[in-house]
Structure formats: C-alpha cells, structure tokens
Structure 1
Amino acid sequence: MLATSRESLAVPGETLFRVAPLDPPSAAQLFAARAAAAGTTIDPDDPAVAAICARLDGLPLALELAATRVPALGVRVLAGRLDDRFRLLAAAGRGVPDRQRTLRAMIDWSWELLDEPQRAALVGLAVQPGGATVEAAEAICAGPDVPEVLAQLVERSMVVAERSTAGDVRYRLLETVAAYGLERLGGDQAPLVRRDAYYADLAEWAEPRLYGRGQRIWLERLDLEAPNLRAALDGAVERGDRTLALRLVNALAWYWYLRGRHREGQRSTARALAVPGTGGDAARASAWETGFAIIAGDGGLDRDLPEGGDARARWFLAHAHLHFGDVPAADELVERALAEFRTTGDRWGEAAALASRTKRASFRGDVAEGVRDGERSLALFTELGDRWGRLYAGDQLAYLAEIAGDYATAGRLHRDGLRAAEDLRLWTDVTYRLASLGRLALLTGDHDRAREFHERAMRLAAQQSNRFAEEFARMGLAQLARRTGDLDGAEAHLRTILAWHERLAADYGRPFYGVTLVLAELGFVAEERGDAGLARSLHERGLAAAREIGDPRAEALAHEGLAGAAALTGDRRETWSHLTEAIRLRESARAPLPPAERRDVERAVTRSLRR
C-alpha cells in the first residue's frame, strides 16, 4: 500500500520515502511548463527563473501558483515581488481543494495541525535567517523540550535538519515557511529580544577565539551565523538598544576585518554609534569605525582620534593608517598600544604592534629595526598559534627581504602566507600574496608567472570589491608591460591607477603612499619614449609626494627618474647629481638598489656616458 502523509504513520513494516523540494533544474522546468500552459513561453535558464525557484524553495505548488502570474507580470517583475508571496500567489481554477488555492492556505492548513510548542518553535526559527543550532533554538524558542519539538517538525517536513561544515546539526526553515512564521510573530517582541541577546553573547564568546589556535574553527562558525548576527544587530538598532548594538559591533569587528568585509564593518559600527543614548563602549567602536573607513577608502584620516577604547582597537586604527601610508598618524597609536600590551601582558597585542612597527620601518627605510621587530612578532604569533598573525608578520618581513634583494626569502614567506590565507579563506590576504608573488616573478624574469599571478589577484580583488588590492595588482601588470616593451599598455594601466590615487588624495587631503611608484613608472614610460620634459615633470611630482609622505626610498626612486630625464637631454652633470643623491638616500635607508631593479639606472648611466 502506498500512502502519503505529513509524518510517519509509525506502523510495523513501514518504509519512508521523503519527498524533497525539487532540485533547481527540475524546478525551472516545472515552472517553465506551467507558464507555457498559462500562455507564456519563458527560458528555464533565465536567471530570474532561477531566483523565483530558489525563493520558492522548489515547492511544486508554490511554483505552479507563481507560473500563473507570469503572463501578467513577466518573470523579472514576479521575482521582485515575492516578498509579498502570500497575497500574490493564488489559484483561480475550479476543482482545487481550498488548501491548494493559495500559498497562504497551504501553510495555514499545516499550521492549524501544530500544537503550541511546535508553533513557538517554528516562530523561533523564523527569526533566525541563518538557521540555528539546537542550543540557539533552545535559547530563542523558549518552549518545553525544544529538541523533541524540533524532531517532530522535521518529521512533518516543516523544518529542515542539516549537518553543517562543523559537523553539528542546524535547523532551518524553507524561505516560504520562514516568511509565514514572521507573519505569525505579529507584535510579539520576545523571540526577537531573546535572539538578539543570544547572538550578542555568542559574538562575545567567539571574539577572543579569533586570536589564536581556534581561529579557523571560529571563523567558520561565524560564517554560518553571519545572517543571524546581522539580524541581531538590525534588531538592536531598530529597538534603540545602543548598548547591545555596540556590544555586537565591538565583538564582530575583528571577524569582519579578517573576512575582508571592511565596508560592512564600517557601516555596522556607524549604525550602532548612531543609536541615541550613552550606553556601551562607544570609544572602542569609534576606533573600529574610523579604521574600517580608512581601509575601505571612505575617508577617516581627518577625523579626531577617539579617546578611550581598548588597546587592540587603537592598534587597529594605527594599522589602518599604515595601510594608507600615513606613518605620522600611526606613530603615537602604535607606541601607546604596544606599551599597554606589555603592561597588561597581552602577547597577541604585542605581536601585532611589533608587526606594525615593522611596516612603519619599511616606510622609513630602517630595514635593520624592521627585521628585529618583525622576527619577534613572527615568533610571538607562532607561539600563540595565530595563523593570520604569522601571515601578517611574514608579509612585512618578506617586503624587507625584497628591499634587500633577498628574493628567495621573500618568496618563501609569501608562499607560506598564501597557503595560510587560502586555508583560512582570507581572500583579501590571498589577493595581496598573489600580487606579491607576481612582483617577485617579475623581478626574477619569469614574465609568464608574473602575468598569471597579477591577473589572478586582480580578478579576486574585483570579486571582493577591494579597490586597494585591485590597483596593487594592476601596478604589477603595468610594470610587466613596461618591462616587456608594451609602453602603451603600461601607460593605460598607470593612468587608471593615477586617477584613483588622485581621488584618494582629494578625499583624504594627502597622497596615498603608492602614488610615488605610479608617478615614477609614468616618468620612466615618458623617458623611454624620448619625452624628457614630461618625464622630468612626472618625477618632480613623485619627488614632492615622496617628501610629503616621508619615504626615503621613494625619494631615491624619483631622483633616479630625474637622472634618466637629464641623461636624455645630455646633461651629464645633472644626471650624476641625481644619481649621487639617490645613492645617499638608499644608503641612509640601508636599502641599496638590488641588481634586478637597476635597469632604469643603468639606462641613465649608459646614455650619460655616451654623450
């Protein structure tokens, strides 16, 4: 005997076959067939069709009801109106049971068959858009014997139980059932308040575990909970609960940073700070918000630095300023944070501050000091088991090795960092490591690998909407184009980068440190074309920017460019004056020009000696 039922009949010899929602291709075919029956031919591969099928969870009745609306609305308008699915989806045909005439009637019928604990559990799950662990369900559904109730709802196909990547069971609702559950919530705020409090507690529990050996586990856990955490923040903001909103953003800020969600971090902290009132740690949130704004390219350099807050938030603000190349703004913040870390015994903080000092040393040209701080930072992060920290400290040491011409060490450190970033799915860091390996390939003459690395980095940066990383990779392609004789291609890339830098300078009121290299490369392009006047003008702009930033190596590069422009006009005296000054600056920075980077200087010297 074959029987259909909402749940098991629990009789001897019974064999169950669960009827799952349709898979995406089957759902699209059913939807297209029913739309054709209603008089409209559609393409089942249309992205709007895929969106409709996904939002209706592959439920055959919902798809059939939706298909009847296609002749009047078309698939794109229909897809955009599914938030109002219960009013929109109704059948007009005869001979159809009442419970199948509308989507609402179908779920109403199932709802009426539930008891009160089951209804409470369904509503509790509906306020968690990312699904729930059994612990979250117990805290938020707040009914008796929640695990047993969830098992009953799974049996009745009202709830989906799945194993997460972490191996635990998560419970979720189909989107249509969740929308119905939210309607049934009505004006009852209690489940929402319980949800928001639970996820604030979870975020605060997870936050210290993102620094150290549990980093990967807790990154993945927060990935799963991200929709719920956003919903909790929305709820806190909408209710005007400033303290809870600030608790959430302060606990989640480091997670957002590691995942490269800088704009989300900036927007979320700004929203929490905008909630009226005086509760919560606003100084800490202000530091995070300002740092995210700088890193995301949304301004922030001219803001008053927030007082108070904790040392890690102050360090993050310094980290953001160094990302922009603003060493003076970072100086005091780094040193204050380092002193506090050492006083309180915060070894992670000490390691982070030392890595930032390493980056600062690379700007100032103090390679020896940078290596000392960087090696101490790497040792501390290794001892703590923090893989992001090892990646960060290793990156700074790799850059110093590159300055010194030790490309083997730089390559090893960047490859180690790439493996760690890919394993942790830190896509922002993956982008920078790829571009850095591309630059090393360029310097060692492997042009094919250089192109491959830089193009991969650019694609990934664009996918992440990370303009800083995208232009960093584009610079590598520009340098590759110039080195291989494609001056037009090099200039096209460089003009794009320069326009972006000019917008940054206008927004921030000062140059971003990378502009010096852009101007130098454009100057070399002009020189190689024989345009001494344009080359001189570009290198003079680069020299002015380098002096404003305070980077002696960038100043040396500008003088080397000016030497090339002078050699082009036959002015041997000026050529050697600029080359002498470039040597002096590089010696002061303890960073002589490596052989692989002497091509432009050698061209100037050769041209000068021929005159």
Structure 2
Amino acid sequence: MRFTLLAPFTPADLSPRPRALLALLLLDAGRVVPLDRLLAGIYGDAPPQNAANALQSQVSRLRRRLGPDAPAIELHPAGYRIAAEPDDVDALLFERLAREGRQKLAAGDARAAHDLLTRALALWRGEALADVPELAEYAVRLAGLRRDAESAQADAALALGWGDTGELAARLARDPLNEKTRAQLMRALADEGRQAEALRLYEEARELLADELGADPSAELTAVHTAILRAVPERARTTVPAQLTRFIGREEEHRRLRELLSAHRLVTITGPGGVGKTRLAVESVTGAVFADLTAVTGPGELAQALLNALGLRQSALLGGGEAPDPAGRLTAALAEEELLLVLDNCEQVIDAVATLTHRLLAGCPRVRVLATSREALGITGEVLFPLSPLDTEDAAVRLFADRARAVRPDFDAGDADVRRICAALDGLPLAIELAAARLRQLSAAELAERLDDRFRLLSRGDRTASPRHRTLRAVVEWSWDLLSPGEQLMLRRLSVFTGGTGVEAAGAVAGLDTFAAEELIADLADKSLVDIRDGRARLLETVRAFGSEKLAEAGEEAAARRAHALHHLALAKRLEPVLRTAGQLDAMTALDTDAGNLHAALDWAVTEDVPTAFALLTELSSYWWLRGRRLDGASRARRLLPHLGADADGEHLVLCVANAAVTEEVPPELFARAAAVMDDLSRPPEHAFTTVIWALTAGPSDTSFQEAPPDHLFARDVWSRALMALGSGMMRYFGRHGDRGESAFREALAGFRESGDRWGQMQALDELARLASGRGEHGVALAMFDEALVMSAELGSTSDSADLARRKGDELILAGDLPAAMAAYEEAMELARRDGSPLGRAAAHSGLARIAGLHGDGARARELYERVLAGLPSKTFVAELIGIEVRCGLAALDIAEGRLDEADAALREAAVAAVARWYLPSVAILAETRADWLLARGDAEGAALLRGFAAAHGHPTPVPEGHAETYARGRELDRDEAVTLLTGTR
C-alpha cells in the first residue's frame, strides 16, 4: 500500500483526526512516534480527558478503516509505530532520493545526482500535507527540502552542461535575494556564451543587496563573478581520492560535518579504527588538498608529506631563499592562500601534527584543516566530530547488502542473519565490508555463526589498503600497540563487562583505586577505544573480543571474572531492599543499567562458582519479578536446578524452583521440597519478596477459611505489614468473611502507598477493582485498573501491564462497552507479544475469543480457545487458571449449540483445577457456566443455586424465573455443596 503526502491525501475519505494520526505515523514510517507528539498533532493544545484512551480508540478505528491489507499499527511503550516501508510514503521516498542525489553531487557524480533529484521532485503533485492543516510545520519543512532539492538539481545540471536558464530565471524572479539561484543562473548564462548578461546579474545583485539588506554579495556569488571574468589556473596538488564504492549510511553525519567545516577552521573526526573516518572526510569535501599520514613516523616526514600533497618543492617556496624550518616554509607558502587541508590518519604522530597544525592555522588565516584521528589533536579552537558506528538496524544493513551484492548479486538483505552480523560487528563499516566479502564462500547464516572467531574469519581485505586496514585484527592491534602498559591492563579488564560499566566497578575488577581507573579510562576514551556515555565506559564488541584474547594470554581471566561477579553480587545485595521503597524506580533503573553485567556474572558463576550463582539468583529474583523480566531469571534458574543437591534448602531453593517454573514444569520432587521450605518457615524470609514469588508460582493452598496469613512470616516494616494485609484480604475473600477482605485490601493499599512500592499498590488496586466490579460499580473498577496500569507502566513491567489490560477488557465487557474491551484485549496481546510471555498471549487470546462469542462468531471463538489450550506452556497456577476459563468458554459454545455432553466433559476438566485451587474468581466463572448447563438440562433449581454462588463471588448473574429464594440460598452455599454442583456429581 502506498501513501501520498505530497499531493491530495491517500486514503482520501478519512476524517480529520484519523487523517492527522495516519500522517504523523507515516512521517516516521517504521519508527515509534511518541505519544506526546501524536496527541499534540491530533488535539493541539487541548487534548481531551483521558487522552491516552482517546488515542487508543483513534488507533483502533484507524486500523479498522485501513483494513487487513494495510501495514500494522503497533503499540510500543513510548508510542505507536506503523509497519510501513519508508519508500511506500511519497514524502519519505522524496527525502531519501533527494538526500542520495545530494550525496552523489558531493561525490562528483553529477549524472546520477541529476537522475535522483529529478525522480525526487517528480513525486510532488501538489502541496505537502495540504489536507492536514494540523501538521503545517511539517509541510513547511518539506517545502524547504523541496527548494534544496531544486537547487541541487540545478547544480547537477550545470555540471553536466544542461543548465536551464529559463527555469533558473523564473526561480530568481520569485526570490530575487536568493544568491544561490543567482549564481546558478550566472553560470548557466556563461555556459551559453552570454557572459555580459551574467555580469549584469552580479551588478544587479550588488545594488539590490545594498538597498534591501545593506550587505555585499556573498563569497560564492563573488567567486562566480570572478571566475567569469577570468580563469584561475591551479597548481597540481593531491586531491581527495576517488572512491570505487557507494557511500552509504552517513547521510546525517555528512550534513553536520559540512556545516562544521563552513563555520570552523579546525575540525577533527575522531573514532575507533574501521569506523569510516577517512571515507566521511573524503565524501564531505570538494577542492581540498589531501595528505595521507599513514606512513609518517616523525615530524620531518610529516612536513615532507604536506609538501608533497601541496605540490611544492622546498627550494621554490620563498623564491630560492631558505626558511628557518619546514613549518616555516609551509607557512610562508600558504600565508595568503585560501585552502582546505585534509590530514588523514594522524594518531601515530599526534603531537607532531598538533604542533604543525597550530602553526599553520596561526600563520595562514585562510587555511582550514580537517583531520582524522583516533584521538583529538588537543589544540585550542579544535572542534571534535566523534564518529560512532553505523546504526545496526538500518545503515549497517544497507552497507552490508551493498557490499554483499558486489560478490553475490542475488544476495537477499532481508535475511535476519544480516542484522545479527551487523550487531555483532558493532556497525563498524570496515568489519562489515570484510564480512560481506566472505559471502563468496559462506552463507549469511554460516557467517553469523562463526563471528565468535571474528579475527580469523575477517582476515582477508583489500590488497591495496594500508596493512593496518587489511584485516580486522590489524585495525585493533594498531591501536593496542600505541597503548601504555597501564592502558593495556585496563582494556583487558574492561573486556569482562557486558553493556558498559562505571568507574568504580572497572577499578574493582582491575584492582585499582577509583582515581587511577578513571584516568586510564579517560586515556582510552581519548584514543577512541572506550565509548563513554552517561558516565559509563563501553567497549565495541570487536575491541572487547580483542581484549578478551589479551586477558586470556595474560592468565588473568579467572581472577577478573571472579572480581566482576563479586562486585555485581554486592551491587544486587545493596539494591534489593530498595525495590520495596520509594526509591524503587531508581533502584530498578540502576539494575537495568547493569543488567548485562549482572546476568553475565550469573552465567559465569553457574559453571565456575555455584554458591555465588545461587546468591546472585536470590538477590535478583525480586528485580526480575517486579520488572516483568521473569524469562531472564527462568533460563538461568533452569541451569541451576541440577545443582540443587539433596541437602539444598532455604530461600535459594525456593527461588530457583519458582524462577525455573516460569517457562516449564519443574520436577515434582523439587517443587515439593520448595513447598516444604515455605511451609516450615518459622520467621520472615530474608528476602521479603520471596513470599510473593512463591505465592504467584504455587498459587493458593487450602486457605479458604483462614482469616489471615501467619504473622510470624512477616517483618514489622511498613511494606511487610502491607503485604500481610494483602494476604489477609485474599484469605478473607476466599473464606467469605464479612467485608470480603475489602478493609484488608484498603489497609494494604495505604501501606504500599506509604512505602512507595508501585507493585504492591497495583495488586491492591486490582483486588479492590474486583470487589467493585462484583457490586456493579464498573466505573470505579475501571478507574482502579487505569491507575494500576499507570503504575505497571512506571515499573516497566510489560507482563503486569498485559495482565491488567486483559482484566480491564473483562471489566469493559461487564460495563457493556465491547469496542473498548476489544481494544483492551488487543493492547494486552501486543504487550504480551513484546514481553515474550506465552501465558500473557494465551490470556489475551481467551479474551478475544470471548468477544468473538459475544458477537455471535462461535467458529472464531472456538478456534481461539482451542489455540490457547494447545499452547499453554506450563502447569503453573496461572496456566491452570487460564485453562479453567478457556474450558468454560468452550463449554459455553457447546451449550449454545446444544452439545451438552461435550460441554459437560469440558466443565468436568475445568472443575479438576478449580476445586483443587479454589481460586474464587475462577470458581465463579465455572459456577456461572455450569449453571447455564444445568438450565439447558432443565434443572432450574440447580442453576439458581450456582448462579447465586457465582454472584456471591463477583459474577452477578440473572435469577432463573421463579427461583429467587433458591438463588439467595445459593449465595450462602458452603464449599462441599458447591463442589457437588460444580463437578456435576449432584
């Protein structure tokens, strides 16, 4: 599907707000558009109340309007994304073609530039976004890009001798002060032999600028005027080398670098070896003198290299006289000249380059310098341009595909292995080009699998390149050899970190104090071997792999890994208690930041230091469950299960079993041992959240008639007492005591609010919403669900958000709002998909099946229910609850179709788990469905009893006619009577 923004909007029959929403998504096709930008674009400065829900409804309507063949509109934590290809949106296709056209022009390929720019401008068939007045500023931006493209197209045409004097004259008439257009028209006239007319245009400009602006003509316009008056011969000099491959992936860097070069006299491109510093420099300059310093080893050779690049003989510089030194001779030669000098590969003679560059810039006021180096020159006035690796989701993939097609023309860039390769190579252009060349012998999948041995794999490069750029190892080894012993030590030790580290941790692993570590990391950052962002040091994966080799060669790996694991165990211990306080989000952010290191430490300890592994798993469990990262814990816990010996007990046993059970069933004997540990506790567990994790894993035991959990299992702090109140509310609810637990839930909510724990508040709100729903207060329940959803979003727990969105959908059905319920279930499905949670997807599918059934689409409902049953991933408590609901849903479909025997079989299966668990919300669903079955069999009395029972547990149902008294008695049914009816044994 193609979309037009540079002409009447397509599709044309959208109303204004959906049109603005679609336009905003299309202008960032393929990328997430933040919620605040969407709300501002649709509603301006006056968004409606509950704007997020309003936006969700707009998105749902837009999805339905576009239909199933349109690109998906996806929900993300920060906003929405339309899964359209940028080239299917004419505005984005225009921007790409115009950008590539300008790049071709800068590279000297005028014919290709003209073709691209002509294609770009042909996409305009009207005004940009004319049908979307809300996006006027976007339209202004696009109009500016159109003018830039027209100007670049004119430059390309002039370079080819195709200057259109008529078109240029028309443009100048529309904007007489545009000196760029005037200069182009002067050149076109001169090309046609009409120099006199061209010179008159210059005189007109001088008068017009003086009258209108009080200014003189620009340097560019003056240069064209001078060139027309006379031709200026140039001396033979070394210009930037022509390139044999396309320039890909640095469009924005190219633009910014050219801006810097126009405003500053010294710009240095810095970055690690192989990142593409030289290529960017070459692509960003025209008419520059190029000096390659790769082979230079000292100040004397440096001066000679510049003399050679400038095409100057030493004896001729001062008319035969001798200057006191080479720098003096160079300064004298360039004193009056306007020149851009490119100094490439400066790092091995950085001090000499700095000294000479400073002297040239001081003595030659019209000379500018662009340097490339792995570290800065360190001169006052120097502007640094740090060059990062390519974006591995876009630019790196495009570069790989382009180079791959040079050796394999039929190469498919859509292969997922390509992204793996680019990510593993950190987006380093040189590494990507070396990898693409190996496709002569290997498939992309084989290449991706062998990147663990990257230095041997990527050992064949361009024979004409300098030795340090022919292989990946040579690129890194060149930088390594320039390091001091202390810098080499720090680089080796940094290789054990995953995802970066702070200075304190780096010092601990290197055995250095913080000040010494900070100095060494700063030195490595100056040499482009360490990337420092937000106070954290990170190695590129290629540098990390090289450092790991050196670490092993030095015999330091075991000590470094152990120090790394112990440091991060101490970090986890320090932050774990904070997760239950008002500092919860800050603690989670700190753990997020070091999640890679924490998990790497645990992975190492699983095989090398099992006690440390259990300690790490124990300290991290609260974080995994609160943050919704339970799959991270599950995979590691399963690897530790074999280490739970016969004498293992305590919290590490319980938490290992609970984490492992997230994805797969745990051996029954281990589960029983963990349950025994919890049953035998005589004091609060060391980690307060252990009680919660086990309860969520094992589900409720036979607590239906208890009033409160055992007091000795809870500490005296505010959070622990709130948890106890939450447990008490659950037990009172199950046991149908008086207020049904509401007072306990409110006490829990107040306690969790006091402690600052959002998770606890979310759980208490969920239970209070359930009680409000049972009273028919659907507005109150929905408000509580919305508040809980805000908290789950703050926690970043997509699994909890998916669960809450799904239950909100259930509540919306009770409130009679099926479209909103559908939107809530769709949101739950998207969140569960992002979280990678099979249980979350199963629960959302169950909700969607329920909607299908309510719309009368029994076949679709049955298909969804059966898909859930076939894919339930484990036999945990939550999986059992979903199974109860799904079997009840299938039974309801069978009842509606008159298949009462099949319905009875499904209800008996559901009753096995429901009776064993006695989780009343699920029991009430079963009671309601069994009541319908009884009514279909003609047993109105039994149906009335079960409907009354269901109503008493939060599922209000209609009273069978003439059975109000039986219905009321059903509200008081005891457990044994209810079980008899639920299991069909009456």
- From the superposition, tell whether residues 300 and 449 of structure 1 become closer, same or farther in structure 2 (CA, over 3 Å): farther
Q: Does 1:328 align with 2:695?
A: no
Which residue of 2 is the match for residue 52 of structure 1? 421
Q: Distance in 1 between matches of 2:559 and 2:687?
A: 33
Which residue of 1 is the match for residue 475 of structure 2? 106
Tell me the TM-score normalized by structure 2: 0.55
Q: Residue 533 of structure 1: CA displacement?
A: 3.7
Q: Residue 137 of structure 1: CA displacement?
A: 1.7
Tell me the TM-score normalized by structure 1: 0.86
Question: Which residue, out of 375, 383, 386, partners 2:754?
Answer: 383
Q: Residue 296 of structure 1: CA displacement?
A: 4.0
AA aligned opposite 1:223: D
Q: Does 1:530 align with 2:904?
A: no
Q: Does 1:175 align with 2:541?
A: yes
Question: Which residue, out of 648, 651, 662, partners 1:284?
Answer: 651
CA contact (8 A) 1:210 1:218 kept: yes
Higher relative contact order (CA 8 A, sep 6+): 1
Q: Residue 278 of structure 1: CA displacement?
A: 11
Q: Residue 133 of structure 1: CA displacement?
A: 1.1
Q: Distance in 2 between matches of 1:447 and 1:89?
A: 58
Which residue of 2 is the match for residue 213 of structure 1? 582
Question: Which residue, out of 915, 940, 943, partners 1:575?
Answer: 940
Q: Distance in 2 between matches of 1:104 and 1:403?
A: 68
CA contact (8 A) 1:517 1:554 kept: yes
AA aligned opposite 2:829: M
Q: Distance in 2 between matches of 1:603 and 1:494?
A: 31
AA aligned opposite 1:2: V
Which residue of 2 is the match for residue 68 of structure 1? 437
The structure with the largest helix share of the pair is 1
What do residues 23-78 of structure 1 show as CA deviations (whole Å, max 9, x unaligned)?
Answer: 44443344334334445453445433333222222323222322221111132221
Q: Residue 282 of structure 1: CA displacement?
A: 5.2
Alignment of 1:436-585 (within 5 A): 436-499=807-870, 512-543=880-911, 545-550=913-918, 558=926, 560-569=928-937, 571=938, 574-580=939-945, 582-583=947-948, 585=949
Q: Does 1:84 align with 2:457?
A: no
What do residues 420-469 of structure 1 show as CA deviations (whole Å, max 9, x unaligned)?
Answer: 11122111110011111111111111111111111221232133232332
SS at match of 2:843: helix
Q: How big is the alpha-carbon RMSD for the aligned residues of Structure 1 and Structure 2? A: 3.4
Q: Distance in 2 between matches of 1:149 and 1:559?
A: 69
CA contact (8 A) 1:458 1:474 kept: yes
AA aligned opposite 2:477: D
Which residue of 2 is the match for residue 609 of structure 1? none
Which residue of 2 is the match for residue 256 of structure 1? 624
Q: Residue 312 of structure 1: CA displacement?
A: 6.0
Alignment of 1:216-231 (within 5 A): 216-231=585-600
Q: Distance in 2 between matches of 1:83 and 1:348?
A: 47
If you compute each CA radius of gyration, which structure gives the higher value, 1 or 2? 2
AA aligned opposite 1:579: A
Q: Residue 323 of structure 1: CA displacement?
A: 5.7
CA contact (8 A) 2:461 2:470 kept: yes
Q: Distance in 1 between matches of 2:833 and 2:917?
A: 28
CA contact (8 A) 2:495 2:544 kept: yes
- 5+ long unaligned stretches in structure 1: 164-168, 607-611
AA aligned opposite 2:818: H
Which residue of 2 is the match for residue 370 of structure 1? 741
Q: Does 1:402 align with 2:742?
A: no
Alignment of 1:172-321 (within 5 A): 172-186=538-552, 187-188=555-556, 189-240=558-609, 242-272=610-640, 274-275=642-643, 283-296=650-663, 298-299=665-666, 302-304=671-673, 305-306=676-677, 311=685, 316-317=690-691, 320-321=694-695
CA contact (8 A) 1:314 1:333 kept: no
Deviates more, 1:120-129 or 1:349-358: 349-358
Question: Which residue, out of 783, 786, 790, partners 1:412?
Answer: 783
What do residues 503-558 of structure 1 show as CA deviations (whole Å, max 9, x unaligned)?
Answer: 856x89x9924444333333322222233443444445545654443356766655
Q: Distance in 1 between matches of 2:861 and 2:820?
A: 18
Aligned residues: 583
- From the superposition, tell whether residues 575 and 325 of structure 1 become closer, same or farther in structure 2 (CA, over 3 Å): farther
SS at match of 2:709: helix
Q: Distance in 1 between matches of 2:551 and 2:882?
A: 53
SS at match of 1:303: helix
Deviates more, 1:34-43 or 1:106-115: 34-43
Q: Distance in 1 between matches of 2:632 and 2:708?
A: 25
Q: Residue 171 of structure 1: CA displacement?
A: 0.7
Q: Distance in 2 between matches of 1:541 and 1:424?
A: 37
What do residues 474-493 of structure 1 show as CA deviations (whole Å, max 9, x unaligned)?
Answer: 22222222222222222222
AA aligned opposite 1:202: L
Q: Distance in 1 between matches of 2:738 and 2:707?
A: 21
SS at match of 1:16: strand
Which residue of 2 is the match for residue 166 of structure 1? none
